[in-house]
Structure 1
Amino acid sequence: MMLHRRAAQGTQTSRRGEKTQPIFCTIFGAMMLVLVAEVLLLVISICVTDVGGRLNQNAKDMLAMQVRNRVGYVQDLMQDAQDLTDLSDYIDRATLAMVNTGRLDLDALNTDSEQSSALLAAIAPELVNTLRARSVTGIFVVLNTEDLRILDVGSGVPGIYLRDLDPDARPSEENADLLIERGSAAVVKALGITTDKSWQPVLRYYGLKGRGFFKDPFLRAYEDNARLSEEYYGRWTTSAYTISDDDRSAIAYSQPLILPDGTVYGVVGVELLTSYLQEKMPYEELQNEKRGAYFLVSTTADEDAEEFVVSKSVTSSQDSYALEEPESMMRCERRADGCWLNLHKRDYYAVAMPIFLYSRNAPFSDEHWLLIGAVNSQTLFSFAQNVRHVLTAVVVGTLVLGILSSLLIAHKLARPVELLYYEVVDGQEKKKFPELSHTKIRELDRLADALTSLNSELLNNSTKFLRIMDMASVELGGYELRFDTGSVYVTDNFFSLLGEPLPKDGFLSVRRFEEILTRIQLSRPCTTTERGDKLLTIRKGGQTRYVLLRVTKDWNVQVGLAEDVTAATLERLRIEHERDYDILTGLYNRQAFQRVCGELFEDPQQLGTAALLMMDLDNLKHVNDTYGHDWGDQYIHRTGLCLAENTPAGTVVARLSGDEFMLLFYGYLNREQIREKVRILSDAMQKSVAVLPGGSELRISISGGMAWYPEDSRNMETLKKYADFALYQVKHSHKGCLQEFSMESYRREAQTAQLRRDFQQLLTEERVYYMFQPIFSAYDGRVMAYEALMRSDMERLRSPATIMKLAREQGALQEIERLTFFKSLETFDHLRSEGLVRRDALLFINSIASIALPQEDCEYMDSRWHELLRQVVIEITEEEAMDREAMEAKRRAPSSSGMFALDDYGSGYSNEGSLLELSPRFIKVDLTIIRGIDTDPDKQQIVQNIVAYAHPRSMQIIAEGVETAEELKKVLELGVDGLQGYFLAKPANIPTRIAPAARQIIENSHSSDCG
C-alpha cells in the first residue's frame, strides 16, 4: 500500500528546492521529442529529395537509353540491307552482255517471257548469294521498261521474288531453306529451289494507288530520266504490304535498275518481314510487365512540331491497345516533359529516335524514319506511385507505432526503478539492508546484487583466494587492487614468479604496484595471447621460464593471476617448430610459407617492392640414381644451408617438396636492390660444393624463375603461377640459370596452348569443310577442273596455313591428309550427284608430298569413290619436301588416276628439281609470278620458258591467281592451258560460272587468233 501511495504523488520538490517529475514522464517526454524529430526529418527528406519525380525521370531515362541502343541496331540492319550497289552493277553487266550478244531485246522485255526468264535465270545465283550475305528475309527483281502509268491494273510483270524465312540460321547447302514466291517455271527449274504455296510465275501490278513495293522508285527514276545514280532513287515502303495469297507482311527497300544509257528497265530490292523485324525490336526490354511497344514509323512532318503524324510500318508489342491502334497513321504530341501518344484514350510516354537511311539530296529524303519506344504511363510510372504510397504509410505507421512504443517503454523502464527506490527507502527506515528484488534488467540487477553482497564479498574474497592458491597443482601467484579504498594484496610468491624481488621498504600502494608491474613487462620479452593475457619470458641463472599473467577488472577491483606455464609453452613451441619447419633443411615447409606469406600480403605496406623466387635443383635425380637417396638428402641439406646463410634477414625461405625451394624477398625500395641480393645468392650457390662418395665434388646447380610484386601481380597465387612459368622456361632452355617472368612470353605460350587445343578439337570433331574454285580452259572458257580448298569454322583456325603449321608441330600431317581426301571427295561427290558441277571435270586435291595414306584408307576410298578417284589430280603443295616412297604409294593407290599437279611453281620446294622428279600432268604457276605479269618482262619470260618446256612433254600449264583483265590477257598471249583466279570465279560452296568479263576476253582472244 505504501508503494502505490508514493508512486501516485506525481511531481515533487527535491531537497535542493528544485521541482522534479516522475521517471515515467521524463522517459516518455524524451522519446516523444525524438519521435517527432525523426518524423519531421523523414517528411522533409522525402519532400526535398523529390523521390517520386526522380523515379519518374529515371523511368524515362531508362526508356530513352533502351530506345537509343535499339535504334542503332535497327539503323545498321536497314542500312546494310539497302546496300545493293554490287548486285545492281552485276545485273547491269549481265543485262548488257545479253543485249550485246543479241540474246535480249529490252523493248520485248515485258512481253517475251523467254527473254525475261533467260535474264532472270542468269542473275538468280547472284540474288541467292546476296540473300545469303544480307540479314534480310527476301530479295526480288522486277523487270519493266514501260511507263507504269499506262500499265493495266492486275497485269503481270516479269520478275523473281526469293524468300528466306530465317536469315540468321546457317545456310543449307542445297538451299532447302529458301522459297521462291514469284518466278517463271524456267527460273524455278534453273534454280532448283522449292516454290512457296502462294507461288505465281509473275508479279502483279496493282496500279499507282496500290501498295506496290517497286512502283515509286521506278516511276521517280523514269520521270526523272535517270539523272541520278540508282541508289539515290532507292526507297523503303512506308507501310507494310503482303503479296497476293500470302499473309506474311513485310516492308521492302527497292531501287531502279538503270543502264549506262539511262534506260530504266526494272527494280531490285530486298524485303524484311515484319515478324523478323519484331524479333529485332524486342518490346520486353522496354518494361518488365511486357506493356511496352516499339513502332517503326516514317513521317514527312517536321519532327520538332508540337504535333506530327507518322505512318506505321512495324509494331512490336504485346500491349493490346498498341496493337489495336489504326494500322497506318498515328499522332505524336510533344509536351514539356517529353513525347506522348494517345492510344485508345490512354496516354503512352514515348521516345522517338531518328533512323538515317537516305542521302540529303535523294528524291525521298523528305521521308524521315523513326523508331518509337512507348510505354503506358500508368505502367511506366507505377513504381514511383507505389513508392509514394509506401512512404506515406511509413510516415503514418512510424508516428503511431512510435507513440505506442514510447508509452510501453516508459512504463517498463520506470516501474523497476521506482520499485528498487522504495525498497531501499524502506530498508533505511528499518536500519537493515534489504534483499532487493530482481527486475530482469541487467544493470539494475547488477546494482542490486552489488549492494546486497558488498559486505560479505569483502570478508570472503581474501579467504577464497588463498585457499585456491594453496590447492593449485601448479605454481601460482596473485594480487588484488581496490581502487575505491587504495588497498593492495599480493601473495608471497608473486614477485618471485616474475623474477623480481619485493620492494625493500615493503610499502605498496596501488600506483606503486602498477608502476612495478609495468616495468616488469617492459624489461622482459612479453607477448599478448589471443585472449589478451600476457606471456612473460623470464631468463635467470641460464634457465628460461614462461609465466602467464591474467588480469581481470570488475568495478573498482582488479585481480591478477601469475601462472608458471614453462612446460606447456615448451611443448607448444616444439609442436609449432615441427609443424612449420622442414626437418632436413631447417627451412620453412610449404604450410608455414603459405601462412607467413599470406600474413604479409594482407599488409601490402610491409611488402614494398618484392620478388617471389621459385627454384629447382638440377642434379638431384642424378645423385639419387648414382649414389643413393642418403647422398641426395645431403645434397638437399647443403642447398638449404646455402639458402639460409646467403639470404638477408627477413627473407621468407622454404622447401616446398623434394627439390623445390621458394623464396620471398620483400620490403625493398626497387628491383635493383633485390637483383643484387639474388646475384649474391647465385654466386654463393655456384661456390657451394657437396662432397660425394670417393671424394668427388658436385657444385650446386639450381634453376630459378622470379616474378615481381606488385608489377606482375598483387596476388600470391598468381605470383606463384608466374614464377613457376619462368622456371618452366629455364628448365626447358638453359638449366642452372635464373630468369625473370615475362608477361609477353606467358601470353604467347597461352595463345599457343589454346591453338593446340583448338587444333585437337578440329581433328576430333572434323571441323573443316571444303569450297571449290573452278579451273577454266584457256581455249574455250569451259570448266576443266575444280580445286578443293580447305576451310574451318573455328575462329582461331580460319587460315589453312595455321592448320598446316600446327599439324607439323604436333605430328598430325597424316590426319590432315586423311581428312582432306575424305572430306573433299565426299563433298564433291555430293555436288556431282546434285548436278551442281560438271561430271567430267577433274578434281584437284592438295596433298602433302611427304605423306602417304595407309593401305586401309586407300581401300576404303576405292570402295566408296571408285569412279571419282579416276578424275582426281593429286596436287603437291610446297610446304613439304618430296618423299619418293610417299609419291610412289600415291601412284600405286587403288583406282589412282596417276595424275599429279605441281603446285605453286616458282616458290618454295616447287622448282626445277621437283619438276623433273615428279613429271606432273599439270604445272600450276604460282600467283607471285602471275601477279603483275602484264607489266613485268621477267615474269613473262619465266612463263614462256615453262610453257616451252611443258607442251612438248604433254604437260599443261595453269595460271594461278589471275585477278585482273590485263593479267588474263597476258597469260592467254603466253599460251597457258588453264586459268584460275578471282577474276574468273571465287571459291564457293557451290562453284559459280565464269565471270562474263573473263569469258569475253577469252572469246576475243581466240577470235583474234583466228582472224
Structure 2
Amino acid sequence: MMIKIKKNSIMTKILLPMTVIILIQLAVLTGIIYSGGVIEQLKRSSYDVLSERVEARTGYLENDMNSRWSDVELTVNTVNQTLKTLLSEGIIDFDSLDNDPEEYNAFLEAVSNDMILLMRRNSVTGTFIVLNTQDLDKGEKQNKPGLYIRDLDPSATPSVMNTDLMLERAPTALTKKLDISLDSSWRPQFEFLKNNVSYYPFFYEPFQAAIKSPGIGYKDLGYWSHTYTLCGDNRGAIAYSVPLIYDDGTVYGVLGIEISIDFLAKQLPYDEIIHDKKGSYVLGITDTHYLGYNNVLCSGTLLSRLKLDNIKLTADDTNTMNYIDIKNSKFHERQYYYSKTLDLYNSNVYFARDNWTLTAFVKENDLFEFADKISRLLYIAIIATVVAGMCGVLVISYNVTKPISKLVDHVKNSKPDGNFALEPTQIYEIDRLADAIERLSVDLMEDSTKFATIIEMASSKIGGFEIWDDRETIFITDRFFEVFNLNGIDTRILNKTSFLEILSALEQYIEPEENREGEYLFKIPVEEEESYRWVSMKYANQWNKWIGLAEDVTESMMQLKMMQHERDYDYLTDIVNRRAFYRIINRLFESNRSELKVAALVMVDLDNLKRINDTFGHAYGDTYIQKAVECMKKANPKETIIARISGDEFFIFYYGYDSKDEIRRLIAKMQSTMSNNKIILPDATSCEVCVSGGVAWYPYDCEEYEKLIRYADFAMYTAKSQHKGTIKEFNLTRFQKEETILLGKKELNTIIEKQLIIYHFQPIIDAQTGEVFAYEALMRSNMEILRTPYDILTLARKEFKLREIERLTLFKAMEAFCGHMRAGRIHKDCKVFINSIPNQLLTLEEITSFESIYREYLHLIVPEMTEEERVVDKLKTAKLNEVKNWSGEIAIDDFGSGYNSQALLLSLSPKYVKIDMEIIHDIHKDLNKEKIVESLISYAHERGILVVAEGLECEEEVEKVISMGIDLLQGYYCGRPSIDITNINVNLKNKIASLHHTCFN
C-alpha cells in the first residue's frame, strides 16, 4: 500500500498531534536514561586523560626549551671577549665589521669553534651568528655575513673530525679553513638583497628589539622564532636567538641555536595521546591565549586534514571540553583539543607577548569511542519505538482521509460553470462543506462576470487571464488579445494549451533589456501605422495558479524613449554623447566581444574650429561641427558608432570586420568626403572640413577599450604634432619611447603646481672650531621619474620652466629652514646656502612677497651660483643687487668643474667658494689636487674669501685640507643630509681640535 502525504492535508493534521504525543513519551524515556549523566561522565573522563598527557608533554618541552636548548650565556660571553680582543688588536672595526671581508672572516673564524661547541653542548640541530651594525628598518635590504652550522642528528655520537656537520652559511674563504662539508643550499652570505628576501625573524626581531631598547641586557631580548626556511632550502626550523651587544651598547649582530622541525617532531610523540596513533600535537605561537596565527609544528593524523590559519582555540581551560568543527568540501568532523601555554618568557621581557602553546587534537569519534557505543544502543531502542508508533498512526490516518481525498478529486475535475453537484462522503462535517462549495461556485461565476465587465469598460486597453497548474480550463477577458493588436480571436473557445501557443508566438517581440522580475515588455509592430505598440504584461503565481494582466503602455514608453534620447544624444549633432558611448562600448566589450572581430577606434579633432569660433563666432563654429558630423555619417555604415566626446573631439568605432583594410577604406572614404565639403564664412571665403585623428586597432594594439582610447589619443596627438589634417595609426614603439617623456612632463607640472619638493639640510662646519657654521638646503623629490635635482632641472630647462623651479626652491627651502630656526634647532646666526640658477629672476611681486615673509632671516641667505650656467651680465647684476639688498652673501658652487671658473670668480666677487668634490676626493693621495687647492686658498684669503671643501668622506681628506688652511668643511664625514636636523650627528669639536694638533704640531 502506497500512502502519499501532502503538506496541510487532513492526514497531516492527524499525523502531527499523534506524532507529537509519541515524541513526548520518548523524550520522557530518554530524559530518564540520560538524567544520571553516565554518558557525559564517560566523555569527561576521556577528556581528562587527554589534558593530563598534554600537561606532562608541555612540561618536558618547556624544560628542554628553557634549560637546555636556549642556554647560550657561555657562548655569548666568549664571543664578546673574542670581539674585544680583535678590536683592541686593530684587526676589526665596528664601522666595517659587516661589510669588510677581511674583518668578518677573521671574526667568524675566531668564534667558529665556540659555535660548534654550543651546538654539541646544547644538543641542537644548528647554531648561527649573523653580523650587522645598521638599523634594519632604514635603507634598502643588504646581504649580511655570518656563520650557520647544522647537525641534523644531534642525538648521534659527535664526529671528532666534524664530518657529521654541514655549513649552510659561511664566507668562501672560511669554508676552506673549517673543513666542514657544504650543504646543497650553502650560500657565502645571508642573502636578502636578491629577490628582496625578507629578513629572517630570528635575525630581525632580537636585533631590532636591541636597537629600540638600549640599555636592556641580551637575556631579556632572547627570542623564540616561528617556523622559517633558509633561502634555497626546504627544511623548516625554529630558532632561539639573542642580540650581540658590546660593552659600550653597540649592537653588532645576533647569535642563536636552531631546532629543526623534524627533530622537534620527535619530541612530540603523538602516539601517546590516544591508542592507534589517532591523535595529533600542534605547537603554535600567538599574541593572546588563542592558537592559530603562526603554527610551528603539526604532527600526527591531523596534518593532512586540518588547517589552523583562521581558527582560534582557547588555551589552559580545564573546566570545558573544547572542540572545533572542521568543514571541508570532502568531510565534516569535530576535533576535541586541549591547549597548554609554555612558560618561555618572564612577564617583563621584550617578547613576553608571544605565547607558545602546545595543543593535542583527537577526533570526536576516537576520543569518545566507548561512550558512543553506549549511546548507540540507546538510540536504536528509541528509533525502534518511534517506527512502530508511526506505522500505526499512518494506517489509522489513511482510513480516515480516503473519502475526503475522493471528494477533493471530484471538485478538482469539475468545471466552474455554477451548476455542479458533489457526491456525499457519509461524514457529516465534510458533507456540510460540500454544500457550501456548491453555493460558492455560483457566487464566484457572478463575480468573475462583473470583473470582466469592468476591464472591458476601462479607458486604456487592458486584458487579463487566469490559468491553473492542474486544470486545462482557463479564464481570459474578451479584449485580452486586442491589447497585442491581435483581433478576431474568440477567447471563449480557448483552452490552456492553445492559449499558451499564442503567447509563445508573441515571445519574439519581447524586449529582453527592458524586462524585470514578474513583468515582460513587448514591442509589437503595427504595419498599418508604420509604428510600434508597447505592451506590459505582469504575472504572478498564487495558490497553484497564474494570474496575468496585459496593458497598452505605448504612450508612456514613447515619452521614456524621448527622455533617453535627450540624455544619450548630443543636442547639436544628434549623435551619441560621451556617456552613451562609454555605456555602449562597455557593453560590447563585456558581453558581446565575439561580435567585435577586427575593430578600430578612431579619435578625431576638428582642426579649424577654434579659429572659426574666435573669428566668426560660435554660430559658424556649430555649423562647422554639424557639417563634419554629416560627413562622418554619410561616409560610414549605419552600424558604425559615432560619438561627440567634447567640443571638437569625436570617437568613431568600427567593429565586426574581417581585416584592417576594410576599415582603412572606410576611413579614407570619410577623409575624402570631408575634403569635398566646405562651409561659407561671413567674409565670403570657404572653409574645408578638416580633421586630425588617430587609430588604435583591436585586438592588435590591445584588447581593453580603456587602452584603446588611450592609444588612439596618442596617435591623434602624433598626427597633430606632425601634420594636421591626417589620421595616423598607433605606433607602440613610439608610444613606449615618448610615454616616459610625457609622464616626466606631467610630474614636472605636478611638482610645480602642488609644490611637491622637500629639503634636506647638510651641515657646513667651521674648520677652526668644529661648530656648525651653516646648512646647505638640498632638494629632494618623491616622484617616480623625477627623483633627483638633476632630473628635475634637466627637464625644467627643456620645458623652459627654470624660473618656476627657482621660485619654488627659494620659497620652500626658506620655509623649511625657518621652521627649524623657530623651533630652536638652529642657532640664530647660522646661515643657509641655497642653490640658485644664475640666469633666472623672480618677478618684482614674488620678490616683494618673499621679503615680506622672511624679512628677519634675509641676511642669513647665501645663494650658490653654479658655473655650469652662462650668466648674462644684466641678469647677474640684478641677482647680485637682490642679495645686496638683503645684506646677504654670494657663494660659487662646484668651483673647478666648469669652463669659466676664474671668470665667474672675478665677476661675482663672492664671499664663499665651494671647491668641487671631485677635486677634494682622495686629495691626500694626489699632489696635483693639493697644488690646485693651495693656489685657490692663497688667492681667496688675500681677498677675504672663505673656501669650502665639499664631499669630505674620510678623516685623511679632512686632515689634509685643514693642514692647507681650509675655512669650512662639508661632506658625509661631517654629517649626512637629513630632513630632520636633530638626526644629524655633528660632534666634531674634539676631532677638529685633534686634527689641528696633528697638522700644526
How does the TM-score come out when normalised to structure 2?
0.49
How does the TM-score come out when normalised to structure 1?
0.49
Q: Greater CA radius of gyration, 1 or 2? A: 1
